[in-house]
DNA sequence: TTGTATGCGTTATCAG
DNA sequence: CTGATAACGCATACAA
């Protein structure tokens, strides 16, 4: 590899002059600068970020720990984060948590060993160990998506509102004449799930409906669990006429299953869901959803992190964004 | 930050002993080891990957340069790559190329400055500069997806077959009685596009159909271009009865447009496409496609790269995977 | 079995 | 305006 010293030798100057030319960190004679730049060009010098990082104590890299594999919705968030990170001249180091506390710990360890300047993390249902590690290292972290406000009021975080929007979804269903409404929810223990379930219950009560234990199924984020849940729910003596789908994953799985059962919305059964798809408008059934502002979520997370990187004494901030209610045709016509 | 020396001081040994304990790189007295480990524990020592990388000349990080934002299909490939990289104890540094040679160059520069050990890249239509930079640095690169075999026979690469599969798609359409067939293709200049267009032409001729200039539209990877293309094609005196969609992006865009025009397949018009969706089975229209083995693509790319990292004298390898023909219902019933 | 010394490629301080 | 030099935190060759 060609180093600073190589360039210096070619240009007949000291290494420090070359460094200063590159970083524009002190005045240098225009003629000297010309020679140095020529030497850089001719040697093809490219610099060594590792050595620079060691010296400066910063890597200009942000770590991202989330479960992008299991949930396609995270893919969009990743891209938004990537975009705004590079816009601010930060690189992005990716680590997959698989929504599992143990893998999450490994992911964070990996990020830290690479000395990222800060971490954005979509916490699992038990992120204590991982967060402790980050805090011990003394670098900032912002939580995204799953915002456990109550637990960690001192941690920067950004997520969407869940309770009220899901309640609104339920009301929408009721307005279409449904009273037997079931909810298929993903991972229990995760903040978003808990909040959406609460919203479901609230929505029911608000409309004078008594929540039935058999009409709430948790852990429907993989197809096996989902199939079982759907069987139980639809096998009830008095089966539901409408379904609330807890997230993207659940929605895709449920549609596959309903398709097999010949129960395609809105004719077969009514459905509403949380999370939207970019293609939701052009494929059927066109599902009525609460659409998450994935872009704002990613951009907001990066901005929270960079703000704190710039000023660690900032007061903690926890932002909630509102999802957008997108009415399509999965509930039948309005009566 | 707590360093090796801090631990050494606490344990009353030299830094090198601590280092050797951590890396198991030479025998140390069990009692000494115990003391050292205790010191590591009590200090919360976490190590510094940057310093280690500088010393060892490796970062154990792989760079990934692709346009994951503009094409959702890449998202799945990214995840496959991430999975197999971490399985081999490599981290993944992400860089977005936006399918643009200039941004691609920046992306690669970023990757290199972070001193990644190797690069996986989905080349733009003019990757010369970026590849030159990588090769100058002397680190291995494997090309993924767009495999310009002819141009760079010495570069490791992995992609899918395009020509024959698209020809097969055309034949499928012909078997359903179509003779007026149009193709909506994405970025011209990119290897996959060129090959798929060739496949389209081959398929036509093979079935005794003369390719019509007006029935081939390029650059349909954004909605504006796509809308224009669709208008032109459908506005023809003798409009096509079937459409070949060049990739994922084109498919989603086209379906949105066709939906607006009331031309939903298979009733409105027949369609086949390249690339599949995870949800393709449960949403309508259920499109007949050539499904890319995204998982094998990602795993294969990592394995090519690691092999070369292990032995740089290996003969260049260029792998072509076969897409899977998935027949659904977007062409009407078989006659 | 352990310690000392050196250098990886930079940046920044201190002289000149 | 420029050069010499000392860290940054670690791994390793060489001594002991």
Give residue-wise pLDDT tens across range A292-326.
999 999 999 999 999 999 999 999 999 999 999 99
Residue A16: pLDDT over 60: yes
Q: What span, in angstroms and rounded, lies between the C-alpha atoms of B65 and A87? A: 16
Host domain of residue A255: 163-292
State residue A268's pLDDT score. 86
Contact yes or no for B217/B254 (Cβ under 8 A): no
Q: What is the pLDDT of residues B6-17, one digit of tens each?
A: 999 999 999 999
> How does residue B82 score in pLDDT terms, banded at 50, 70 and 90?
very high
Q: Are residues A77 and A96 in the same domain?
A: yes
State residue A148's pLDDT score. 65
State residue B266's pLDDT score. 85
Contact: B136, A279; criterion CB under 8 Å: no
State residue A278's pLDDT score. 84
Q: Are residues A125 and A212 in the same domain?
A: no
State whether residue B72 sits within 8 Å of chain A by CB.
yes
Q: Are residues A240 and A215 in the same domain?
A: yes
Q: How far is CA B239 from CA B125, B264, B273, in A?
A: 31, 15, 19
Q: What is the pLDDT of residues B173-207, one digit of tens each?
A: 999 999 999 999 999 988 899 999 999 999 999 99
Q: Are residues B207 and B313 in the same domain?
A: no
Q: Are residues B38 and B80 in the same domain?
A: no
Q: Is residue B329 part of a domain?
A: no
> How does residue B334 score in pLDDT terms, banded at 50, 70 and 90?
very low
Q: Which residues of A touch B91 (CB under 8 A)?
A: 93-95, 110, 114
Q: What is the pLDDT of residues B127-143, one digit of tens each?
A: 999 999 999 899 999 99
Torsion angle of alpha carbons A94, A99, A104, A108, nearest 10°? 30
Contact: B79, A69; criterion CB under 8 Å: yes
Identify protein residues whose C-beta is within 7 angstroms of any atom in strand C: A 1, 3-5, 15-16, 19-20, 22-23, 25-26, 45, 47-48, 51-52, 54-56; B 12-17, 20, 26-29, 31-33, 51, 54-55, 57
Task: Give the number of A-B residue pairs with CB atoms closer than 8 Å.
Answer: 136
Q: Which helix (H) or strand (E) holds B52?
A: helix B49-56
Q: Is residue B127 part of a domain?
A: yes
> How does residue A153 score in pLDDT terms, banded at 50, 70 and 90?
confident
State residue A333's pLDDT score. 54
Q: What span, in angstroms and rounded, lies between the C-alpha atoms of B24 and B40? A: 14
Q: Are residues A105 and A63 in the same domain?
A: yes
| Nucleotide in closest CA–C1' contact with A54 | D8
Residue A89: pLDDT over 50: yes
Mention every residue, 6+ apart, whose C-beta is less than 8 A from residue A274: A162, A165, A166, A169, A196, A245, A246, A247, A248, A289, A290, A292, A323
Contact: A50, B54; criterion CB under 8 Å: yes
Residue A39: pLDDT over 90: yes
Q: Is residue B129 part of a domain?
A: yes
Contact yes or no for A2/A46 (Cβ under 8 A): yes
Rounded CA Rg of chain B: 26
Residue ending a domain, among B292, B307, B329, is B292
State whether residue A49 sits within 8 Å of chain B by CB.
yes
State residue A73's pLDDT score. 80
Across the interface, of B59, B83, B91, the residue whose CB is closest to A69 is: B83
Q: Are residues A88 and A149 in the same domain?
A: yes
Q: Is residue B215 part of a domain?
A: yes
Give A93's strand partners: A63, B93
3-state secondary structure of A137: helix
Contact: A49, B281; criterion CB under 8 Å: no
Q: Choose the weakest-confidence range: A91-105, A233-247, B142-156.
A: B142-156
Q: Is residue A329 part of a domain?
A: no
Mention every residue, 6+ apart, whose C-beta is less than 8 A from residue B23: none
Q: What is the pLDDT of residues A169-226, one digit of tens each?
A: 999 999 999 999 999 999 998 889 999 999 999 999 999 999 999 999 999 988 899 9
Q: How far is CA B10 from CA A31, A148, B20, B23, B244, in A?
A: 52, 38, 16, 19, 69
CATH number at residue A112: 3.40.50.2300
Contact: B92, A93; criterion CB under 8 Å: yes
Q: Are residues A87 and A192 in the same domain?
A: no
Q: Are residues B277 and B299 in the same domain?
A: no
Residue ending a domain, among B255, B277, B292, is B292
Q: Are residues B169 and B232 in the same domain?
A: yes
Q: Are residues A194 and A235 in the same domain?
A: yes
State residue B194's pLDDT score. 94
Q: What span, in angstroms and rounded, lies between the C-alpha atoms of A302 and A120? A: 8
* Closest residue in chain B to residue A287, using alpha carbons only: B283
Q: Are residues B242 and B265 in the same domain?
A: yes
Residues 226-265 of A with CB under 8 A from B: 252, 255-256, 258-259
How confident is the model over A267-277, as a mean pLDDT?
Answer: 92
State whether residue A114 sits within 8 Å of chain B by CB.
yes
Q: Which of A53, A87, A111 would best serve as a mutation to test chain B binding (most B beta carbons within 10 A)? A: A53
Q: Which nucleotides of C are covered by protein (CB under 7 A)?
A: 1-5, 7-13
Q: Is residue A54 part of a domain?
A: no
Q: Is residue A16 part of a domain?
A: yes
Residues 122-141 of B with CB under 8 A from A: 133, 136-138
Contact: B110, A94; criterion CB under 8 Å: no
Number of domains present in the structure of chain A? 3
Residue B90: pLDDT over 70: yes
């Amino acid at each position: 590899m060609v180093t600073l010293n190589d360039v210096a030798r070619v240009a007949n100057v000291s290494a420090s002059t070359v460094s200063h030319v590159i970083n524009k960190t002190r005045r240098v004679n225009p003629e000297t600068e010309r020679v140095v730049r020529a030497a850089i060009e001719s040697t093809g010098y490219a610099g060594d970020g590792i050595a620079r990082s060691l010296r400066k104590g910063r890597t200009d890299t942000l770590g991202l720990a989330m479960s992008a594999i299991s949930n396609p919705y995270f893919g969009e968030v990743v891209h938004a984060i990537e975009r705004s990170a590079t816009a601010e001249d930060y690189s992005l180091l990716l680590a997959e948590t698989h929504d599992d506390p143990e893998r999450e710990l490994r992911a964070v360890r990996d990020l830290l060993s690479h000395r990222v300047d800060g971490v954005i993390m979509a916490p699992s249902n038990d992120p204590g160990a991982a967060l402790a590690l980050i805090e011990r290292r003394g670098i900032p972290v912002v939580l995204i998506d799953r915002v456990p406000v109550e637990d960690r009021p001192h941690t920067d975080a950004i997520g969407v509102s869940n309770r009220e929007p899901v309640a609104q979804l339920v009301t929408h269903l009721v307005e279409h004449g449904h009273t037997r409404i079931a909810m298929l929810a993903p991972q229990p223990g995760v903040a978003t799930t808990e909040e959406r379930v609460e919203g479901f219950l609230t929505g029911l009560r608000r409309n004078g409906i008594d929540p039935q234990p058999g009409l709430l199924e948790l852990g429907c984020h993989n197809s096996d669990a989902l199939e079982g849940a759907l069987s139980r729910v639809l096998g009830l003596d008095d089966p539901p006429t409408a379904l609330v789908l807890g997230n993207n994953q659940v929605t895709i799985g449920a549609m596959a299953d309903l398709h097999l059962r010949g129960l395609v919305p809105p004719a077969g059964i009514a459905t509403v869901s949380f999370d939207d798809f970019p293609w939701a408008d052009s494929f059927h059934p066109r599902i009525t959803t609460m659409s998450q502002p994935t872009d704002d979520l990613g951009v907001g997370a990066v901005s929270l992190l960079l703000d704190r990187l710039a000023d660690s004494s900032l007061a903690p901030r926890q932002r909630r964004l509102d999802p957008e209610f997108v009415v399509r045709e999965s509930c039948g016509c309005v009566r």
